[in-house]
Amino acid sequence: MSPATPTIPVYQGHWLFKSAFQIQKNPVHFFEEKSKTLGDTFYAAYPGGKVLISANPGLIKQVLQTNHKNYPKDRGYDQLALMLGQGLVTSKGAMWKKQRKIAQPTFHKKNLENLFAAMTEIAHQYIKELAQKKGQIVDISQEMMAVTARIAMKALFSSDIEGNLKEIYHAISYAQEFVAKRAINPMIIPWTRLNGSLRKFNRHRGVMNGLINNLIETRQQENDSKADFLQMLLEARYEDTGEPMPLDLLRDELVTIFSAGHETSANGLAWTLYLLSQHPEITQKLRQETQQVLGDRTPSFSDLKQMPYTRQVIEEGMRLYPPVWGVGRYAREADQWEDHHIASNTIVICQIFSLHRHPDLWEAPNEFNPDRFETEKAKARPSTHYLPFGAGPRMCIGNHFAMMEMQLLLPLLLRHFDFELIKNHPVVLEPMITLRPKNGILMQLK
């Protein structure tokens, strides 16, 4: 008689609220803690049902790649759509395919190369401004948010973050915070209607949409074209109709690119600087590469290929602190994974943070070791073990832009500054739209 197939364990939690409050408080910490006894895949009971949470590369591959058509985005993305509209992060089905197809060429290598000089200009301006804070204690996560926001504005609209663009930035930042909290914790949704935050969100969203619509209309009336995302999307045409993107969809895509793009790079850099501040030997090796390749000159787009260790450091930083910490999907129809039945309508959370620290996949998984990403080691590793930007057809469209931005900024920052971590300031994970430090990361700038 063959042994019985082991069932996927279920964490029951509180008799009434089940695991709801524990997950919503911090889904990353919840999974890390419970997986110690339940394994890399388990159900968490919820009022009215249960959620399947997994850091197993086989199940994650099935959900995001091999059977992705059966696993559309879960209902949390409906909250993000309040802000992002029908942008690539939130749109579904035929709409998503149509938008992905028209937007994809915008992120081709040649177009990114054309943006590099403008990004470098902003980076140098920012370095000069940051130099005024030498000797001070700064929140490096907020500093990285500031510089990546400026680069995003330059890449989107060929402008720095001044005047109307500053208003756009503040409106988007508030809206992003609002929808992220509702997506992570649906139980607060009724409260946001009562405490005035929904009205405040609607006001910020109106400002954001109005200002971006004005920028689009102004550009349409200008004769000269510019090398930025706005221009490329204005000139893009749907393959089947030859028509341009409608104004509302164009605006949604611009908001999506800004929101997802600058926060991904900002948190990637902040966490990497946090790790480097605790590993001076790795910092020194990175600086040596920068000196050997660049000397004292400004980096060019082609230099990035000549700086493999810089890339390895960033990739290892994103392994330990992935921007996309988790991906939510639901089973449209019943499915089978290995010997396990997955019922229709089951919500599945692919836990990327824990996948990247899975002890069966990574040697010394909690150690910061950029040598893991040496070319030959990276090639030998199954692609589903490392997913900082997600996986499958809905993988982040701007991943190359984000990497380019981080590869530009990190060596420039380390050329000009030392970052000394303030040891008595707690650094706490906050899984929102991306993985960020809840109370910032305080460092003395030297």
> 93-97, 159-163, 439-443: which has the highest mean pLDDT?
439-443
Ramachandran assignment for 48, one of left (phi > 0), alpha (psi -120 to 50 degrees), beta (any other): left
What are the structural domain ranges in the chain?
A: 55-445
- The label of the residue with tokens 């010394």 reads 364
Q: Which residues contact 68 (CB under 8 A, 6 or more apart)?
A: 392, 393, 394
The SS3 assignment for 428 reads coil
The strand pairing partners of 444, in sequence order, are 137, 420
Within its chain, how far is the Cα of 188 from the centroid?
23
Q: What's residue 78's pLDDT?
A: 87
Percent helix, strand and coil across the chain, each to the nearest 5 = 60, 10, 30
What is the per-residue pLDDT across 122-135, written as a single tens digit (0 to 9) for each? 999 999 999 999 99
DSSP designation for 227: S
CA separation for the pair 172, 262 (Å, rounded): 11
Instruction: Give mean pLDDT, residues 113-124.
Output: 95
Pick the CATH number of 55-445 from 3.30.2420.10, 1.10.630.10, 3.40.50.2300, 1.10.3720.10: 1.10.630.10
Within its chain, how far is the Cα of 177 from the centroid?
14
pLDDT category, 161, cuts 50, 70, 90? low
Q: What's residue 349's pLDDT?
A: 96
Least confident of 161-165, 198-202, 341-345, 416-420: 161-165
Q: What's residue 3's pLDDT?
A: 47
pLDDT above 50 for 292: yes
pLDDT above 90 for 17: no
DSSP designation for 391: -
pLDDT above 80 for 5: no
